[in-house]
Amino acid sequence: MRTQYSGLIDDKYIGQTVTLYGWAHRRRDHGGVIFIDLRDREGLVQIVCDPDRPEVFETADKVRNEFVLEVTGLVRARPEGTRNENLISGAVEVLAQDLKILNPSAPPPFLLDDENLSETTRLTYRVLDLRRLPMQRNMKLRYKAAMAFRRHLDELGFIDIETPMLTKSTPEGARDYLVPSRVHDGQFYALPQSPQLFKQMLMCAGFDRYYQIVKCFRDEDLRADRQPEFTQVDIETSFLNELEIRDIMENLIRHVFKETINVDLVNPFPVMLYNDAMNNYGSDKPDLRVKMKLTELTDLMTNVDFKVFKSATELRDGRVIALRVPHGASMPRSEIDSYTEFVKIYGAKGLAYIKVNDVKAGREGLQSPIVKNISDEILQAIIERTSAQDGDVIFFGADRKKIVFDSLGALRLKVGHSEFGKSHGLFEEGWKPLWVVEFPMFEYDEEEERWVACHHPFTSPKDGDEDKLESDPENCYAKAYDMVLNGWEIGGGSIRIHKADVQSKVFSALKIGPEEARQKFGFLLDVLQFGAPPHGGIAFGLDRIVTMMTGADSIRDVIAFPKTQRAQCLLTQAPSPVDEKQLRELHIRLRNEHKHE
C-alpha cells in the first residue's frame, strides 16, 4: 500500500522505508546516478536510483516522462546545498530499493512545466493539462471552496436537495438547451438555466432551508466568465426578509474566503443602490479597486453648440457623462486614439476629450478640438463638476444611456487596470466586496418592444410598487440584491413572489397573457395558491469565485473539462453529428446536412 502521497514526503519520514506511486515528471542521468522526479497530485519528490542496485538502475534507465511508477525506498536527507525550499519534499530524497513501471507512456505532446502553452493545446490534451501542478492546485482549491460552502450551510440547517436536470422550457431568460424526447414525439425537455422554480416549490413544500451545488446550462454567447454549463451554489430560505438573508449570505462568503484562502473580507460589506452604481461607475457590478467615478453632465448640454452633446440630450434616454482621469493629460494622442477605438466595441461613435493643462487659465488652459464649440460658462461648470485639476484629462460619452454607461464603464476599468492607472494611484489592490440593491423590476427590450424582467420574473417588487407593475413598469423596483467582488457579480438573489395574484400582475407587465402564463408556469401558479410562505434566496457562481481565488484569467482554468468560447469540447470533439438511427428514434429530421469542420 502507498505510504503517503509523493509530494508530502518530508523530513519526518527520514529513515523510513516508503512505497510511493506517481508519474515520472522528469528523469535525469547524472553520470552513473539516475534521478527521477516522481509526481502526484500533492507535488514532487526526488527518487535516487543508484547503480549499486542493478535491477533498479536498469529499470530507471528505461523510464521516460509520464511513465506510471511504483517506488519503494529509503527516505534520507538531501545533501547540503541541494535542498529545494519550494517543495514540501525539498529537504529529502528517496533512495530506490525497488522500482516498477506500472505503465509506459507515449511521448507527451508538451512538457508539463511549460508555461507558454496555447489554450487550444491545453484543452485538446486536457487530461495531460490537468496533471500540471497549477491545474492540480486549482482543482483542489475548488474542492476546498465547495466543502467550505457545504459545511457552513449544513451548520445553519440548510438541506441539500437535488432538483431535475430534465425540465420544462420556460424561455424568459437566456436561451435554453433543448433535449428531444424519444417517448413523446415532437416534445422537448430543457436543461435548467437555474433550479429557480423548483427551489421555490421546495419552500412551498415546507423544507424551509435548501441548498444545492448544481450544474446549470445556458445557450448564450461566451466570455471569460461564462460557460454553457456552469456550477452554482443555489440557496433558498423561508420566513426571512431581505436584510436577514443578506446577512446570512455575507457571513457565508466571509467564511468561505477565510477557510479557503485565509482572506478576511470586510465586515460589513458596503451597500450601494443600483442607480448609484450605474451613475457613478457605469456598471451594476462596480470594481471599487478603480478610484475613478463618472460625472453626470446632461443638464449642462441642452443648449451647447457642440452637436454631439446637444443631440444626446434630445434622445428619450440620452445622457452626456464625463470620466475624469487624474494625470491623464500626459497620455500621448496615440493612447487616446486607442481608447476611442475601444469604446466603439460598446456602441459608442467616438470619444470626446479635454486635456486640462491649467485650470486657472480658463479656456486657454484647455486642450481639445471640442473646446471651441462650448461656452466659457459651460467649460467652467464642467471643470467644477468633475473636480478636474491641472494635468487631468476628461473623457466624454454622449448617446443613449446604455451605450454611455457601457462604454465609459468599460473605459474606466481599462484605464484603471492599465499600467498607467496602477502607476498613478488609480487602482488599489485588495478584495472589495459590496451589495448592489434595489434593481429595476424591468428593462425595455427594443427588439421585442416590451418590458422584460431585469433579474427573472419571479422577483418580488419593493413594497408599494405592486400597484405600478402594469401602469408604470419603468419605475418599479425589486427586492433584488447582487453580491459583487472586484468587478464580478459572484452572487445574485431576491425575495420571491409568494402570492399568485402578484405573480400574475408581473406576467401581465411582461406581456405574458393568462393563457401563455398557464402554459409556461401553470404548475407554479397552482403551487402558490396552497399557502406559499414568504421566501427568498441567492445563487453564487462557484466557477467565478474560485477563478478569483486562484487569480486565474478565465473560469476555464478552474473547470476540469470546460468548453471553448465556441461552446466546443476539444477533448471529446463535442458537439458532434449523430447517426440517422438516433435521429429517427427522436423523431428529428435535419434541414441541413452536417458541416464538417
Task: State how far the Cα of 128 lies from the Cα of 497, in Å rounded to an integer.
Answer: 48
User: Does 542 show up as a binding residue in the annotation?
Assistant: yes
User: Does 526 show up as a binding residue in the annotation?
Assistant: no
Per-residue pLDDT at 420:
95
Cell numbers standing for residue 552 = 486565474
User: Does 259 show up as a binding residue in the annotation?
Assistant: no
Among candidate residues 492, 496, 506, the one with its CA nearest the CA of residue 527: 496
Cell numbers standing for residue 351 = 470619444
pLDDT tens by residue, 439-497 = 999 988 878 788 888 888 899 999 989 888 888 988 999 999 999 999 999 999 999 99
- pLDDT, averaged across the chain: 94
Cell numbers standing for residue 535 = 421566501
Give the mean pLDDT of 248-271.
Answer: 98
* Fold entry, domain 131-273+429-438+478-498+534-585: BirA Bifunctional Protein; domain 2 (3.30.930)
Strand ordering across the sheet containing 366-367 = 294-296, 318-325, 392-400, 352-356, 366-367
Domain 6-103 superfamily per CATH: Nucleic acid-binding proteins (2.40.50.140)
Give the mean pLDDT of 206-212.
Answer: 97
User: Does 543 show up as a binding residue in the annotation?
Assistant: yes
Give the mean pLDDT of 251-263.
Answer: 98
Give the mean pLDDT of 256-281.
Answer: 98
pLDDT top residue among 596 and 43: 43
Percentage with pLDDT > 70 across the chain: 98
Contact by Cβ (8 Å): 210, 161 = yes
Preceding omega of 332 cis (within 30 degrees of 0)? no
Neighbours of 345 (CB within 10 A): 10
Taken in order 399, 400, 401, 404, the sign of the CA dihedral is negative
User: Does 597 show up as a binding residue in the annotation?
Assistant: no
Among candidate residues 433, 426, 439, 393, the one with its CA nearest the CA of residue 278: 439
Question: Which amino acid is it at 243?
Answer: L
* Fold entry, domain 290-423: Gyrase A; domain 2 (3.30.1360)
Contact by Cβ (8 Å): 336, 415 = no
User: Does 496 show up as a binding residue in the annotation?
Assistant: yes
The neighbouring-strand residues paired with 394 are 324, 354
Mode of pairing for the β-strands spanning 17-30 and 33-40: antiparallel
Give the mean pLDDT of 565-585.
Answer: 93
User: Does 16 show up as a binding residue in the annotation?
Assistant: no
Enter the DSSP assignment of 244: H
Per-residue pLDDT at 172:
58
User: Does 489 show up as a binding residue in the annotation?
Assistant: yes
* Range scoring the smallest mean pLDDT among 318-327, 370-379, 407-416, 509-518: 509-518
Annotated domain spans of the chain: 6-103, 131-273+429-438+478-498+534-585, 290-423, 440-477+501-532
Contact by Cβ (8 Å): 199, 237 = no
Burial class (CB within 10 angstroms; exposed 0-12, middle 13-18, buried 19+) of 186: exposed
User: Does 172 show up as a binding residue in the annotation?
Assistant: yes
User: Does 515 show up as a binding residue in the annotation?
Assistant: no
Among candidate residues 3, 79, 2, the one with its CA nearest the CA of residue 35: 79
User: Does 255 show up as a binding residue in the annotation?
Assistant: no
pLDDT tens by residue, 392-441 = 999 999 999 999 999 999 999 999 999 999 999 999 999 999 999 999 99
Enter the DSSP assignment of 303: T
Per-residue pLDDT at 171:
63
Q: At residue 311, does pLDDT exceed 80?
A: yes
Phi, psi of 510 (to 5 degrees): -85, 5
What SS3 state is found at 126? helix
CB within 8 A of 162, min separation 6: which ones?
Answer: 212, 214
Contact by Cβ (8 Å): 73, 17 = yes
Question: Global pTM?
Answer: 0.92
Give the mean pLDDT of 235-245.
Answer: 98
Cell numbers standing for residue 64 = 521516460
Contact by Cβ (8 Å): 255, 215 = no
User: Does 544 show up as a binding residue in the annotation?
Assistant: yes
